[in-house]
Amino acid sequence: MAWLWLIGTLGFGGAAYLVGWPAWSGYRSREARDLNAERYLAWRGRADRTSVTTSEGMTGEERRRLWIAAALGVAALVCLVGFFAAT
């Protein structure tokens, strides 16, 4: 019976990874692209010197996916505790 908890842990953990990783990597790559574009414009002398660099942040879809991944991660931890309690 304890192996069911372990399967649940692996399932929820894998689902959290599959849901959350694309959102996180998309956010990080967009931030890197924006920074590279700003550096290029500054190098070419066309950057706006008065503007302060502000990040757009995450999109609503990315934020929603990360919240779902966090909930799945918590479920994986609950299953892991159940596994250790059952053994």
**Are the C-beta atoms of residues 20 and 62 closer than 8 Å to each other?**
no
**Are the C-beta atoms of residues 21 and 82 closer than 8 Å to each other?**
no
**Are the C-beta atoms of residues 75 and 7 closer than 8 Å to each other?**
no
Residue 9 to residues 2, 59, 78: CA-CA distances in angstroms?
11, 29, 8
> Residue 31 — pLDDT band, cuts 50, 70, 90?
confident
* Whether pLDDT at 83 is above 80: yes
* Whether pLDDT at 46 is above 80: no
